[in-house]
Amino acid sequence: MKKWYSGILKDLRKLGDKIFVIDNLGLLNEKNLFKELINQYKIHEYKDDGSLYLFFNKNKEKKILIISSKNIQRDFIDKNFQIKELVLRNIFPDLDVDIIKELDISYYQTLYNDYTERKNQGLVIGSTEDFVLKCVWGIDLGKLHSNTENLKIALAYIVDNKDVPELIINKISKKLSVNISELRNKPNDFISWVKGLLKEYLIEKQRNEVLVYDLSNPIIQFYLIKISMKSDINLPIPSDLISNENWLSKFQKEPNRQEIKESIFTLITFYRNKMNELLKKEFDFNEIDDILKVSRMFCEIVYLIQINDFDFDDFIKLDKEYDDFDKLFREKLVNERTNNYESLFYSSTSDKPLTVDKVLDFAKNKFKNKIALIVMDGMSFDEWFILKDELKGFKITESEIFAIIPTITGFSRTSIFSGRTPKEFMNEKFQFNEEKEFFSAMERINFNKNNVIYGNLNLKNNTLKTSKKDIQLEHLKGYDFIGIVCNLFDDLSHDKVITNSGKSIFYKNIKNNIVSSSLIKLFKQLKNDGYNILITADHGNIFCEGNGISSNKNLEIDKRSSRCLFFNNENFAEKVTNANYINTFSYKYSMLPSGLTLILPIKNQCFIKKQDYKITHGGISPEELIVPLVILQ
């Protein structure tokens, strides 16, 4: 399949070894394109003349590519570089580029495929707007006369945050007689609207009238099920209707265990379809969100099964699921052959970060100031759902990001608070100072140190413990940025596990501790004090079984984890993997301190005695590697 940016690469290769690229459309934000350029050139983003001169003198013997978002007039640039401005008209010559440039760059490949196929068949493209709507969003303007079609798009826009064009949303709003954009930002009003739709549907069914909206449509069903799993919608529903349309039972009060099981099976179906699709496809950086989404769905399934005390074997075979994630992660993401995981660190933070080291920059770009960043140490995505269940009254915007490998506190949490990778903040002895790194990062993103605070949350005496003093939580007003570490999840995860009981007891301990603590009260207070609240985690954790593998501790460095062994001598690491090649693999990448090799176990195993169990972290399971990034409003 020809890439939409192949012409850009071809043009750049013709220009020699010193190229100055003007990219005012942000085309180089395309992750696959950027990775290809990284492999061919030393890349520098133009910020000022001084840094350009230093970079040029340091790398003048190498192939250099300078990226600028605007045209820079300098004799030095004209003399030393071939200048290339990236334009869309060369890629889509028959389309209105003013419309194309408003699209997210992740849609360009889909658009390009359809565009070239139509051109090859000699078909007329016609209106660029109609072409884009049909190609990218599957919206046929001719079908928007149907109430059900309009409702499908509205629910996709609200429930899944689909970036449907504003023009279409305005048309749908008029058709449905409700402001869809406002409903997206007002969850309580949205639930009330959905209740109204359901009530009208029930009346129409009972009276055998023509349906205004066919809520039994499979796509609408998918969204209604998602809504029912997250919101409390209780309606009096006649038993004869439920017997004919069982899905209506999901909107009754306190669903019974059978109904909960059916909801889980529905989620598993969507999860398995997406997982099978990803395993078959060639890896594409523009679909990295699909890997994040399927990981999140798996964590939600793990949560729902265990919080309801169900048996995994009645729903899924965990061994098979971890096998598939091993294939997905190790073949497409975490391996030294493709280095795709490492490439995530070069990605843009404009919409959302992909890795936790970009959270600080994301917070600054999105909110400017009055920010409260709470890092829930060791909170996996499945455990986030426990906390989320207690956050009634908040508007919650959640997304998924990658933790730092190895998924342990010293590497990943410090990456969050420093805004840097471990290679940048660790010295040769793997030492670092998280608080010092945090305040340095605050200076870098232009926060006044006097208006910034960092500390560990003590929920027993309701204080924030800083290096200077303990501050009562009610006195956290008036700062521009608050960095808070909460160890509640991590502390509970280290309780001794005796039997193969999974996380069920762990979940209940978390819930009890949240309810009995002042954590939710703190979130409400921060909201009332005007803070933009971000919640994330440095890593998650996984319930795992010992594989009986051990190594000579004298050969390892001090950062040993039950899910990861650390070596600064590659030969020592090879001895472990060679002796245990079925159950382990090695991984190293350039974001870690130089020479550090990791030994990771497969699936849900860990480096303890066989037939012992543990809740731990350090590896690359979806529970450990994918963490939530949540905005509370």
Least-confidence region, from 138-142, 495-499, 554-558: 554-558
User: Residue 603 above 70 pLDDT?
Assistant: yes
Instruction: Tokens for 310, please give them.
Output: 């169900």
CA separation for the pair 175, 168 (Å, rounded): 11
pLDDT of residue 553: 62
What helix, strand, coil percent values describe the chain, rounded to 5? 50, 15, 35
Angle between helices 409-418 and 359-367 (to 10 degrees): 30
pLDDT of residue 498: 55
Residue 369 φ/ψ, nearest 5 degrees:
-155, -170
Q: Residue 629 forms beta bridges with which residues?
A: 399, 536
Q: Residue 584 forms beta bridges with which residues?
A: 601
pLDDT of residue 219: 82
User: Residue 269 above 80 pLDDT?
Assistant: yes
> Is the CB of residue 503 less than 8 Å from the CB of residue 391?
no
Q: How far is CA 181 from CA 156, 170, 213, in A?
A: 12, 8, 20
Long-range CB contacts (< 8 A, 24+ apart) of 14-19? 15/82, 15/84, 16/82, 17/62, 17/63, 17/64, 18/63, 18/64, 18/80, 18/81, 18/82, 19/64, 19/65, 19/66, 19/81, 19/82, 19/83, 19/84
Strands (E), 505-558: 532-536, 542-546
Percent of the chain with pLDDT over 90: 40
Query: Amino acid identity of 469?
Result: K
Q: How far is CA 537 from CA 332, 381, 492, 625, in A?
A: 24, 9, 15, 10
Between 59 and 47, the higher pLDDT residue: 59
Q: Strand 452-458 vs strand 481-486: parallel, antiparallel, or unpaired?
A: parallel
| Other residues' Cβ atoms within 10 Å of the Cβ of residue 622 | 26
Q: What is the pLDDT of residues 187-212, one digit of tens each?
A: 888 888 988 888 888 888 877 778 88
Query: Amino acid identity of 392?
Result: K
Instruction: Tokens for 295, please give them.
Output: 């990981």
CA proximity to 334, closest of 437, 238, 407, 389: 407
CA proximity to 175, closest of 137, 155, 148: 148
CA separation for the pair 590, 339 (Å, rounded): 9
Q: What is the pLDDT of residues 281-298, one digit of tens each?
A: 888 887 888 999 999 999
pLDDT of residue 557: 60
Q: What angle do CA 272, 620, 274 make, to 5 degrees?
A: 15
> Is the CB of residue 473 less than 8 Å from the CB of residue 528?
no
User: Residue 251 above 80 pLDDT?
Assistant: no
> Is the CB of residue 97 less than 8 Å from the CB of residue 14?
no
Q: What is the pLDDT of residues 78-92, one digit of tens each?
A: 999 999 999 999 889
User: Residue 142 above 60 pLDDT?
Assistant: yes
CA proximity to 411, closest of 385, 392, 437: 437
Q: Residue 615 forms beta bridges with which residues?
A: 543
pLDDT of residue 41: 92
Query: What pLDDT band is residue 554 in, cutting at 50, 70 and 90?
Result: low
In eight-state DSSP terms, residue 136 is I
Phi-psi region of 495 (alpha: psi -120 to 50; beta: other; left: phi over 0): beta
User: Residue 254 above 80 pLDDT?
Assistant: no
Query: What pLDDT band is residue 518 in, cutting at 50, 70 and 90?
Result: very high
Q: Residue 401 forms beta bridges with which residues?
A: 627
Q: How far is CA 283 from CA 280, 325, 335, 340, 633, in A?
A: 9, 14, 13, 9, 35
Instruction: Tokens for 230, please give them.
Output: 């997250």
Between 536 and 34, the higher pLDDT residue: 536
Q: Residue 616 forms beta bridges with which residues?
A: 542
Asked, as a colleague might, if the bond just before 622 is cis with ω within 30 of 0, I would say no
CA separation for the pair 304, 502 (Å, rounded): 13
> Is the CB of residue 266 less than 8 Å from the CB of residue 227?
no
pLDDT of residue 278: 92
Q: What is the pLDDT of residues 26-42, one digit of tens each?
A: 899 888 898 889 889 99
User: Residue 461 above 80 pLDDT?
Assistant: yes
Burial of 155 (0-12, 13-18, 19+ CB in 10 A): buried
Q: How far is CA 54 from CA 42, 51, 71, in A?
A: 13, 5, 20
pLDDT of residue 484: 95
Query: What pLDDT band is residue 128 in, cutting at 50, 70 and 90?
Result: confident
How confident is the model over 97-120, as a mean pLDDT? Answer: 86
User: Residue 593 above 70 pLDDT?
Assistant: yes
pLDDT of residue 359: 94
User: Residue 523 above 90 pLDDT?
Assistant: yes
pLDDT of residue 629: 96
Strands (E), 283-436: 371-376, 396-402
Average pLDDT over the chain, rounded to an integer? 87
Query: What pLDDT band is residue 222 in, cutting at 50, 70 and 90?
Result: confident
CA proximity to 596, closest of 581, 605, 586: 586
pLDDT of residue 149: 84
CB-based contacts of 248, cutoff 8 Å, min separation 6? 198, 202, 237, 241, 242
User: Residue 349 above 70 pLDDT?
Assistant: no
How confident is the model over 602-614, as a mean pLDDT? Answer: 88
CA separation for the pair 580, 31 (Å, rounded): 35
Query: What pLDDT band is residue 631 in, cutting at 50, 70 and 90?
Result: very high
Instruction: Tokens for 390, please give them.
Output: 């207690």
CA separation for the pair 591, 355 (Å, rounded): 12
pLDDT of residue 209: 79
The string of DSSP letters for 551-562 reads: --GGGS-S--BT
CA separation for the pair 525, 74 (Å, rounded): 52
pLDDT of residue 44: 92
Strands (E), 308-467: 371-376, 396-402, 452-458, 463-465
User: Residue 126 above 90 pLDDT?
Assistant: no
